[in-house]
Amino acid sequence: MKKILITGAGGYIGSNLVPYLLKHKYRVLAIDRFFFGNYLKKNINLKIIKDDIRSLKKDYFKNVYCVIDLAAISNDPSGEIFKKETFDINYRARLRNAKISKHMNVKKYLLPSSCSNYGRIRNDQIADETFKLNPLTNYSKANSMAESSILKLNTKNFNPTVFRQGTLFGCSPRLRLDLAINGMTYGIFKNNKLPVMRDGNQRRPMLHMKDALRAMKFFIENDHQLGGEIFNVGSNENNYSINDLIAIFKKKIRKKFKLEWYGSPDKRSYFVSFDKISSIGFKAKYNAKNGIDDLLKYFKKNKTIQKKENITLEWYRELEKWNNIIQEVSKDSKILYDL
């Protein structure tokens, strides 16, 4: 059984990826600070370590076949507020992890980057992996820096691969409602209002969670020359403008609903080509409609879904706020008890 080290294993993607790989007969070493809680169930082939990816021990990488380095400050708004941390975690720590992986004879290192590195492109263009990057935010700048430094480590025996994911949608025990389709579906479910980020013309490739998991397994198992390569992960059919998504919701949801516009016009806009990953045999299976169906079912089952944890930036702010309060009022690490 091959051992896979997953950082960020408690996150939106990680808490689905861990059970998925266990089911497919991998051993998993799951590492995370678990800022959003730990939803991983015990399993004989799973070891969980609570640690920070800025200072991982070399020992963790012993006998690991593949590292999937998911841990990150994971969206644009959080990256603008926590700038230093975003560069430290998303760029420096992941480069350090890739170097340790190489040193410890790990075979594959997968860097989960983002199509948001393309920033803003003209509507008559479509970005393939050779397209000039235009990272507009700290989050995508850190991703772009990690990509170029880590790919340089490629050798015959150590193969780093970058996968630039579209914006994900779909269910997870650590749900993210700050992702477009997830947030829109939740708005419809909760109060029949569709929250839409201005101005609606912005374009994005979307990626179903189940396809993201399939793609990572595909990278682990694929023996093509993937080392040193970049792949956009998604499918050409799942390139949507936000207005396209509104139209899908209008078709799907029979009753009338209101649009709730928010934010200032989004500068990020990009359609992406997925021909390269398709040429080596990966095809996405799911589209936005499938995701909306899955999410609506999930929301019906899990009625207490709205928590601060589900909005990434709100939750990091909340943790920082309480950390400051606790430091102010505690004595010998205690509040009221056992002084």
Ligand X SMILES: NC(=O)c1ccc[n+]([C@@H]2O[C@H](COP(=O)([O-])OP(=O)(O)OC[C@H]3O[C@@H](n4cnc5c(N)ncnc54)[C@H](O)[C@@H]3O)[C@@H](O)[C@H]2O)c1
Residues in the site for ligand X, rule: CB under 6 A? 8, 10-14, 32-36, 52-54, 70-72, 74, 89, 112, 114, 165, 167-168, 174, 176, 179, 312
Q: Which is nearer to ligand X, 22 or 68 (CB)?
A: 68
Place of tokens 């926590």: 82
Q: Which of 260, 257, 262, 210 is nearest to 238 (CA)?
A: 210
Residue 262 to residue 196: CA distance in whole angstroms: 6
Write down the least CB distance from residue 276 to ligand X, Å: 17
Q: Which strands make up the sheet holding 230-233, listed edge to edge?
A: 46-50, 27-32, 3-7, 66-69, 108-114, 159-165, 230-233
Q: Which residue has the tokens 């299976």?
A: 285
Q: Which residue is nearest to ligand X (CB)?
A: 11
**Least spacing, CB of residue 331 vs ligand X, in Å:** 28
The least distance separating ligand X from the CB of residue 172, rounded to whole angstroms, comes to 8
Nearest-approach distance from CB 25 to ligand X, in angstroms: 23
Q: Which is nearer to ligand X, 77 or 200 (CB)?
A: 77
For the bound state, the minimum distance from the C-beta of residue 289 to ligand X, rounded and expressed in Å, comes to: 18
Decide if 95 contacts 137 (C-beta within 8 A). no
87: left (phi over 0), alpha (psi -120 to 50) or beta: alpha
Whose Cβ is closer to ligand X: residue 40's or residue 106's? 40
Distance separating alpha carbons of residues 89 and 65, to the nearest angstrom = 22
Comparison of 280 and 319: residue with beta carbon closer to ligand X? 319
Instruction: Using the minimum distance from each CB to ligand X, give the nearer residue, 211 or 229.
Output: 211
